[in-house]
Structure 1
Amino acid sequence: MTTAAAVSPLPSAPSAPLLSAEGLHVTFPARRGDADRARAVDGVDLDIRAGEIVALVGESGCGKTTLARSLLGLVPPTAGRVTFAGRPLDYSSRALKAYRKRVQLVLQDPSGSLNPRHTVYDAVAEGLRIHRYGGDEREAVSMALSRAGLRPPERFFLRYPHELSGGQRQRVVIAGALVLNPELIVADEPVASLDASVRGEILALLLRLRSELGLSALVVTHDLGLAWNIADRVAVMYLGRIVETGAVEDVLTTPQHPYTQALLSVLPEAPGDPVVLTGEPPDPSRIPTGCRFHARCQILATGEAERAGVADACRGQDLPVLDGGGGAQVACHWAPR
């Protein structure tokens, strides 16, 4: 039995990450009546390397979107820091503007992120105008639309969002991110609102952009199937912390943490019966002592943790924060080495 033990490193891992969270904490005022502040992100180390796609997975309320927003500079951390290309993030308006040219956000709902009164051309050109692009705007917009799979691009210039399919709207959003030639994109549930027939096309597009442009990506999702199809590495988040991380093949074929096992058990192709988690959903203003998952843990509930001699540790002994590197790690008293 172990606590947050590194098992094996990823092969050929570069020494310096492109984007890194170090000891990151983000707290918010709690609901009225709660004594503690809500610890949405409660100690996270996470690295994303050049050309790497990392999937951040977990159920709603686990803190993954807050973590992503903090990495983008939209939510300043309460403690810890974010670094990009080896430099700590500067939260001045001028520095953030320059940073957001290099790191772009792709939202899950293209209908909500596109102005219905703007044409496709204006939607994609908006970033160029904000950053006072000095080159040929029409050429840059055409290139971005082509890279996003909307060809010929001129055919889409004067269309409005309501004239496009859901997949085309998502491609316009991606083109709006690509037009500034970013080094990394943060995609928050990028295919959640799309039909199954279109999801594969968008995932293939993201993989092609990584291959052709060397683009890095953090993909925020509750869908482990999406992580399997797109990611090099996966980080599983629960109640403000990453509880398991490693190469996607390792984590999703031999999950070590009971929470990861439960998430995987509900996939249609998963063997055996789905794990039904009991207890209340995670509440960031009421983080329990010990392992933060113990109140819902099926290993503890079945007596398996007791038989392994770790039940008391599960209930009362906190686990260290996993480091942000690429090695396989798990924050669990019960998980085998």
Structure 2
Amino acid sequence: MTTAPTPLLSAQGLHVTFPGRHGTAPARAVDGVELDIRAGEIVALVGESGCGKTTLARSLLGLVPPASGRVSFGGKPLEYSSRALKAYRRRVQLVLQDPSGSLNPRHTVYDAVAEGLRIHGYAGDERATVAQALSRAGLRPPERFFLRYPHELSGGQRQRVVIAGALVLEPELIVADEPVASLDASVRGEILALLLRLRTELGLSALVVTHDLGLAWNIADRVAVMYLGRIVETGDVEQVLTAPRHPYTQALLSVLPDAPGDPVVLTGEPPDPSRIPTGCRFHARCQILASGEAERAGVAEACRSRELKVLDGGGGAQVACHWARAAV
């Protein structure tokens, strides 16, 4: 029996909490997450705003220490000393949603891309390394962009500069938080194609954080759907997005332009993470419970009162839903 290769990046029993306001209970922003990302793999982390996906991404980057659980990279637990985190961030880089906010308007493109090299005391040929990163990000000839400022670039070009700034340190993994949300449709496709090309050419792994299941379909090998601090469905992207089992995933997919049937309109907002409901954390908004289908399946009481186990991070098809499990 062969053992599975060690994941490149792994979250194990991860919990991230924030202090409550005015003496209220702590907010459980990440509430027990297991997630593995393998070398050369693109994983999409999907969910509504406020579900905890950005906090999870920031914790995986070492920006937010967990209350419990751990993050491992290459099989070794992440250490939180300044020196260890600096070394880690050469290997794992962040690409943010808004390129305008990521770039200092007073810095040229060259300085923006070279910044990481200077922080890490790079001793090689800085000019050649910056040029290579810009070229890999699709800005060619790179020298034409060296002395430009962010306001002189299009939105797509600015995002490519941000990606070049991540690539310049030759990381093994990038965490892209809504990498195309601020771009128009034509440019979105170009940036997604770039990320796929970088995976092919450089063996780069990626965690792509998004609210858009259509984006996940176009770029990811695997998808993890997050709700109220926990992953509620995961598996190969085609399997999850063609035959979603969790009612929350079904609702997210139903509003895509080409989705069959009527959109599922979820009532209310996601609950406050300081007051997570008993039972299934989605039950108060669940269309399956509201329609009586869960009652007919004999699981309605379990939905309201029995908590589901945390899904493991291995990547096989899994769902945290009493009704979906009863239907198997």
CA distance in 2, matches of 1:210, 1:14: 21
SS at the partner of 1:42? strand
Asked whether the 8 Å contact 1:13–1:326 carries over to 2, the reply is no
Query: Which residue, 202, 225, 231 being the options, matches 1:242?
Result: 231
Residue number in structure 2 paired with 1:194: 183
Q: Could you tell me how far 1:14 is from its partner in structure 2?
A: 4.3
Asked whether the 8 Å contact 2:228–2:270 carries over to 1, the reply is no
Query: Could you state the TM-score of these two structures normalised by the residue count of structure 2?
Result: 0.98
Please state if 1:25 is matched with 2:15: yes
CA distance in 2, matches of 1:100, 1:289: 38
Q: 1:285-324 maps to which residues of 2 (within 5 A)?
A: 285-324=274-313
Residue identity over aligned pairs, in percent, reads 88
Please state if 1:69 is matched with 2:85: no
Residue number in structure 2 paired with 1:265: 254
SS at the partner of 2:226? strand
CA distance in 2, matches of 1:172, 1:222: 23
Residue number in structure 1 paired with 2:87: 98
Asked whether the 8 Å contact 1:14–1:49 carries over to 2, the reply is no
Please state if 1:226 is matched with 2:215: yes
Please state if 1:164 is matched with 2:153: yes
Q: Could you tell me how far 1:197 is from its partner in structure 2?
A: 0.8
Q: 1:106-185 maps to which residues of 2 (within 5 A)?
A: 106-185=95-174
CA distance in 1, matches of 2:206, 2:50: 22
Q: Could you tell me how far 1:32 is from its partner in structure 2?
A: 2.7
SS at the partner of 1:334? helix
Give unpaired runs (5+ residues) of structure 2. Answer: none
Asked whether the 8 Å contact 2:93–2:174 carries over to 1, the reply is yes
Asked whether the 8 Å contact 1:61–1:282 carries over to 2, the reply is no
Please state if 1:37 is matched with 2:30: no
Q: Could you tell me how far 1:310 is from its partner in structure 2?
A: 0.1
Q: Could you tell me how far 1:278 is from its partner in structure 2?
A: 1.2
Q: Could you tell me how far 1:13 is from its partner in structure 2?
A: 9.3
Q: Which AA in structure 2 matches 1:31?
A: R
> Structure 1 pair 169/47, CA: closer, same or farther in 2 (3 Å)?
same
The answer to which structure, 1 or 2, has the higher relative contact order (CA under 8 A, 6+ apart) is 1
CA distance in 1, matches of 2:290, 2:76: 45
Residue number in structure 2 paired with 1:256: 245
SS at the partner of 2:323? coil
Please state if 1:328 is matched with 2:285: no
Q: Could you tell me how far 1:33 is from its partner in structure 2?
A: 5.6
CA-to-aligned-CA distance 1:69-110 (integer Å, 9 cap, x gap): 000000000000000000000000000000000000000000
Runs of 4+ in 1 over 4 A off after TM superposition: none
Asked whether the 8 Å contact 1:103–1:185 carries over to 2, the reply is yes
Q: Which AA in structure 2 matches 1:201?
A: E
CA distance in 1, matches of 2:224, 2:3: 16
Q: Which AA in structure 2 matches 1:102?
A: R
SS at the partner of 2:209? strand
Q: Which AA in structure 2 matches 1:136?
A: D
Give unpaired runs (5+ residues) of structure 1. Answer: 1-11
Asked whether the 8 Å contact 2:267–2:285 carries over to 1, the reply is yes
Cα RMSD, aligned residues only:
1.0
Please state if 1:208 is matched with 2:197: yes
Q: Could you tell me how far 1:281 is from its partner in structure 2?
A: 2.4
